Structure 1
Amino acid sequence: MIVNSIKKWALPIFTFIIFLFIWQCVIIFGHYAPILLPGPFLVLKSIGHFIITGDIFTHLGISLYRFIAGFVLAVIIGVPVGFLLGRSSSLFNAIEPLFQLIRPISPIAWAPFVVLWFGIGSLPAIAIIFIAAFFPIVFNTIKGIKHIDPQYLKIASNLNMKNWSLYKNILFPGAFKHIMGGIHMAVGTSWIFLVSGEMIGAQSGLGFLIVDSRNMLNLEDVLAAIFFIGIFGFLIDRIISYFEKLILTRFGE
Structure 2
Amino acid sequence: MKKLIHILVSFALILILWQGAVSLGYWNQALLPSPPDVGNGFLELVSSGTLFAGVKSSMYRFFVGYLLAAFSAVTLGLVLGWFRNAWSFVNPVVQLVRPISPIAWFPFIVLIFGIGDLPAIVIIFIAAFFPILLATVNAVGKVDQTYIKVAKNFGIKQPMLLTKIVLPAAFPSIASGLHIALGTAWVFLVAGEMVGAQTGLGFMIIDARNNLRADLLLANILSIGIIGLILDSFIGLAEKQLLKRWGVIGGNNVY
TM-score, normalised relative to structure 2: 0.93
The alpha-carbon deviation at position 8 of structure 1 amounts to 4.2
Residue aligned with 1:163, SS:
coil
* Residues 1:252 and 2:234 aligned together: no
Aligned counterparts of 1:196 and 1:76: Cα–Cα separation in 2: 23
Which is further off, 136-145 or 152-161? 152-161
Alignment of 1:114-129 (within 5 A): 114-129=109-124
What is the root-mean-square deviation in Å for CA atoms of aligned residues?
A: 1.3
* Residues 1:51 and 2:46 aligned together: yes
AA in 2 matched with 1:42: D
Give the counterpart of 2:19 among 16, 24, 29: 24
* Residues 1:148 and 2:133 aligned together: no
Aligned counterparts of 2:70 and 2:12: Cα–Cα separation in 1: 38
Report if aligned partners of 1:75, 1:137 keep a CA contact under 8 Å in 2.
Answer: yes
Aligned counterparts of 1:8 and 1:129: Cα–Cα separation in 2: 30
AA in 2 matched with 1:173: P
Which position in structure 1 is the counterpart of 2:58? 63
* Residues 1:213 and 2:208 aligned together: yes
Change (3 A) 1:102 1:189: same
Residue aligned with 2:159, SS:
helix
Which position in structure 1 is the counterpart of 2:236? 241
Aligned counterparts of 1:116 and 1:23: Cα–Cα separation in 2: 43
Segments of 5+ residues of structure 1 without an aligned counterpart are none
Aligned counterparts of 2:74 and 2:6: Cα–Cα separation in 1: 38
* Residues 1:160 and 2:155 aligned together: yes
Alignment of 1:190-205 (within 5 A): 190-205=185-200
Aligned counterparts of 1:163 and 1:235: Cα–Cα separation in 2: 37
Aligned counterparts of 1:139 and 1:23: Cα–Cα separation in 2: 39
Report if aligned partners of 2:77, 2:134 keep a CA contact under 8 Å in 1.
Answer: yes
Aligned counterparts of 2:43 and 2:226: Cα–Cα separation in 1: 15
The alpha-carbon deviation at position 15 of structure 1 amounts to 2.5
Give the counterpart of 1:96 among 91, 100, 104: 91
Aligned residue pairs total 248
Residue aligned with 1:203, SS:
coil
The alpha-carbon deviation at position 36 of structure 1 amounts to 1.4
Report if aligned partners of 2:54, 2:200 keep a CA contact under 8 Å in 1.
Answer: yes
The alpha-carbon deviation at position 13 of structure 1 amounts to 2.0
Give the counterpart of 1:36 among 31, 39, 43: 31
Report if aligned partners of 1:129, 1:190 keep a CA contact under 8 Å in 2.
Answer: yes
Deviations 1:104-124 (A, max 9, x none): 111111111112212221111
Which position in structure 1 is the counterpart of 2:179? 184
Which position in structure 1 is the counterpart of 2:4? 9
The alpha-carbon deviation at position 189 of structure 1 amounts to 0.1
The alpha-carbon deviation at position 150 of structure 1 amounts to 1.0
AA in 2 matched with 1:129: I
Identity of aligned residues (%): 44
The alpha-carbon deviation at position 167 of structure 1 amounts to 2.0
AA in 2 matched with 1:238: S
Segments of 5+ residues of structure 2 without an aligned counterpart are 249-255
Which position in structure 1 is the counterpart of 2:253? none
AA in 2 matched with 1:181: S
